[in-house]
């Protein structure tokens, strides 16, 4: 089943270069996954690379849960000033990351890792 980009996406664009089939498309304002090209990275990777590279862990999901195209930029980012655009992008991305609930997987992983580190420190 192909993947889809969700509203949880923060627009970091990591998935664009990570996709081995170039299934992720953009027109400069929005991006989406071409379902005819997406093969879930089968044959090249163990997991879908759009999902693996997504810092939100919810930006790319299997198509069955579906999503609409996501805007990449805001009005302030379209200005000609490089630094104004950079800070607007940074502020938007940080705000979206902080607003996304963390998955249970990461809490479980962190707790397990913390226990291993504590055991190593006491030996």
How many domains would you assign to the chain?
A: 1
- Residue 38 lies in domain: 3-122
Beta carbons of 5 and 31 less than 8 angstroms apart: yes
Q: What is the pLDDT of residue 19?
A: 92
Q: What is the pLDDT of residue 102?
A: 67
- Structure-token pair, residue 86: 């950079």
Each residue's pLDDT tens digit, 11-67: 788 888 999 999 998 887 777 888 888 888 888 888 888 888 888 777 777 766 444
Question: Shortest CA distance to 94 belongs to which of 64, 52, 56, 63?
Answer: 56
The Cα 100–Cα 114 span in angstroms is 23
**Which pTM does this prediction carry?**
0.50
The Cα 93–Cα 70 span in angstroms is 13
CB atoms within 10 A of CB 54: 23
- Structure-token pair, residue 7: 């509203």
CATH code at position 71: 3.30.70.20
The Cα 85–Cα 80 span in angstroms is 8
């Amino acid at each position: 089943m192909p993947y889809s980009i969700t509203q949880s996406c923060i627009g970091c664009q990591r998935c664009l270069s990570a996709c081995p089939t170039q299934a992720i498309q953009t027109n400069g304002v929005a991006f989406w996954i071409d379902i005819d090209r997406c093969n879930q990275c089968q044959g090249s990777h163990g997991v879908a690379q759009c999902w693996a590279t997504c810092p939100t862990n919810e930006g790319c999901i299997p198509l069955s849960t579906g999503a609409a195209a996501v805007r990449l930029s805001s009005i302030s980012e379209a200005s000609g000033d490089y630094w104004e655009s950079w800070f607007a992008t940074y502020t938007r991305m940080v705000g979206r990351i902080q607003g996304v609930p963390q998955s249970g997987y990461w809490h479980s992983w962190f707790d397990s890792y913390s226990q291993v580190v504590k055991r190593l420190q006491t030996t």
